[in-house]
């Protein structure tokens, strides 16, 4: 299929845009690795999911822009878009995303603490009574232990 120069520039810019999107998803992947610190198996699974996602982005953009006709400038556009994102935008955006995630985590912790206040109150009230029950249970165990101990002594005597 013949493309005019304007259409080819449009396709190149959309592939450049796809590289930027793939770079953004790479930053999200880096943030997840920063917070969760996965082990070997989880790393392999995360890598697989990341590359499947990048491939889906790649083919979606290719399908929407030029019906998946592969040209060299399309690959160049994706790589240049990814490099631009990683060298320029990511240096600004990644620290902002980390700070945002930290603030969200703090807000979630505060919300969980606020939700947990009634439960802590109930736990303190109940645990006081449970401690008393534990003491009573401990006394009964000691009594039963003493009964077993002394009955065996008494029954051994002739």
| Max Cα distance, the chain (Å) | 116
Structure tokens at 152: 């065996």
Using the predicted structure, report yes or no on whether residue 1 has a pLDDT greater than 70.
no
Q: Where are the domains of the chain?
A: 5-116
Q: What confidence score (pLDDT) does residue 158 get? A: 56
Residue 78 has pLDDT above 80, yes or no: yes
For residue range 80-90, what is the model confidence (pLDDT) as tens digits? 999 999 999 99
């Amino acid at each position: 299929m013949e493309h005019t120069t304007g259409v080819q520039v449009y396709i190149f810019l959309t592939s450049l845009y796809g590289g930027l999107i793939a770079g953004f998803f790479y930053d999200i992947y880096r943030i997840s690795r920063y917070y969760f610190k996965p082990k070997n198996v989880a790393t392999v699974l995360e890598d697989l999911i990341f590359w499947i996602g990048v491939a889906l982005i790649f083919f979606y953009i290719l399908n929407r822009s030029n019906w998946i006709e592969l040209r060299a400038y399309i690959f160049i556009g994706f790589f240049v878009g990814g490099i631009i994102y990683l060298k320029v935008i990511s240096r600004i955006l990644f620290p902002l995303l980390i700070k945002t995630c930290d603030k969200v985590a703090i807000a979630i912790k505060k919300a969980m603490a606020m939700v947990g206040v009634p439960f802590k109150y109930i736990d303190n009230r109940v645990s006081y009574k449970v401690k008393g029950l534990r003491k009573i249970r401990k006394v009964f165990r000691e009594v039963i232990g003493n009964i077993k101990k002394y009955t065996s002594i008494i029954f051994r005597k002739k």
